[in-house]
């Protein structure tokens, strides 16, 4: 693979480092699911309903369950991946783990909480995110705009709108505040990098990097029709 600058908005070293981290998580998760599949109790009722409705045997269903468990772990790792990638863009900083929010840009006056998918965070937790972001712009970052970033949106749409999550205890939504917003991943990457196609460019370059790290050829993989369709169906 040509080692010239792959993407204009992030250096190769950071990109390779973060891809490597996700690969390590995926490998460990696959190994753990193979060795400790029954560590977390599998619902036997779910197994028979799901396998019979799909028309597959229990052994085939079990393979799918292994994949599902790996995917669950991988989703968490991908949230951190996007946090660190955004934090590696010039002018941005990742706050690491344990902070109230994930990334910030002092010049752009932006702080953000980054989640991999729209349903990563349960509804009642979204109000907590709202409250945390509100506290930050009230007490410390008064002239900042706070974003809740959903890298993978619910629907194939782009949005940057006021964030008003509902409180399931009261049935009421949090008050509108122009400085507390929810945004899809493509729009946020465009804002962060200045490149409208930044997220797609990352997607397109990932197979080559992953293949290089794993020592595998990905030429056939990237030629598959579904490779481009998957991204286009999400955004």
The first and second tokens of residue 232, run together, are 């286009």
Assign 110 to helix, strand or coil: strand
* Whether the predicted pLDDT of 78 surpasses 90: yes
* Whether the predicted pLDDT of 3 surpasses 70: no
In order of their start, the domains of the chain are: 93-193 (3.40.1560), 197-235 (no CATH)
As a whole number, the mean pLDDT across the chain is 92
Mean pLDDT of the 21-44 span? 82
212 phi/psi in degrees, rounded to 5: -65, -45
pLDDT for the residue numbered 37:
66
Q: Give the confidence band of 2 by pLDDT, cuts at 50, 70, 90.
A: low
Q: Give the confidence band of 15 by pLDDT, cuts at 50, 70, 90.
A: very high
Q: How far apart are CA 104 and CA 115, in angstroms?
A: 15
Q: How far apart are CA 227 and CA 206, in angstroms?
A: 11
* Whether the predicted pLDDT of 216 surpasses 70: yes
Q: How far apart are CA 149 and CA 152, in angstroms?
A: 9
Backbone region of residue 122 per phi and psi (left: phi > 0; alpha: psi in -120 to 50; beta: other values):
beta
pLDDT for the residue numbered 219:
84
Q: How far apart are CA 209 and CA 16, in angstroms?
A: 7
- Would you say the pTM of this structure is higher than 0.85? yes
If one compares 230 and 169, the residue with the highest pLDDT of the two is 230
pLDDT tens digits for 43-57? 889 899 999 999 999
If one compares 191 and 117, the residue with the highest pLDDT of the two is 191
* Segment (H or E) for 35: helix 12-35
pLDDT for the residue numbered 120:
77
pLDDT for the residue numbered 65:
85
* Whether the predicted pLDDT of 128 surpasses 90: yes
Q: Give the confidence band of 29 by pLDDT, cuts at 50, 70, 90.
A: confident
């Amino acid at each position: 693979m040509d080692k010239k600058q792959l993407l204009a908005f992030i250096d190769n070293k950071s990109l390779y480092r973060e891809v490597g981290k996700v690969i390590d998580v995926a490998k460990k998760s696959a190994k753990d699911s193979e060795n400790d599949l029954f560590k977390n109790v599998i619902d036997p009722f779910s197994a028979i309903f799901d396998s019979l409705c799909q028309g597959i045997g229990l052994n085939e269903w079990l393979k799918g369950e292994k994949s599902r468990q790996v995917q669950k772990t991988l989703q968490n790792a991908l949230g951190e991946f996007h946090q660190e990638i955004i934090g590696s863009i010039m002018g941005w900083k990742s706050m690491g783990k344990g902070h109230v929010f994930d990334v910030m840009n002092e010049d752009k006056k932006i702080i953000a909480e980054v989640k991999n998918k729209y349903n990563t965070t349960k509804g009642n937790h979204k109000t907590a995110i709202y409250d945390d972001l509100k506290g930050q712009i009230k007490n410390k970052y008064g002239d900042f705009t706070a974003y809740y970033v959903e890298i993978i949106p619910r629907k194939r749409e782009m949005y940057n709108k006021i964030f008003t999550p509902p409180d399931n205890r009261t049935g009421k939504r949090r008050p509108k505040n122009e400085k507390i917003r929810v945004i899809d991943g493509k729009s946020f990457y465009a804002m962060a990098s200045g490149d409208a196609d930044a997220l797609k460019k990352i997607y397109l370059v990932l197979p080559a990097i992953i293949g290089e790290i794993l020592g595998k050829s990905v030429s056939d993989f990237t030629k598959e029709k579904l490779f481009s369709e998957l991204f286009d169906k999400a955004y």
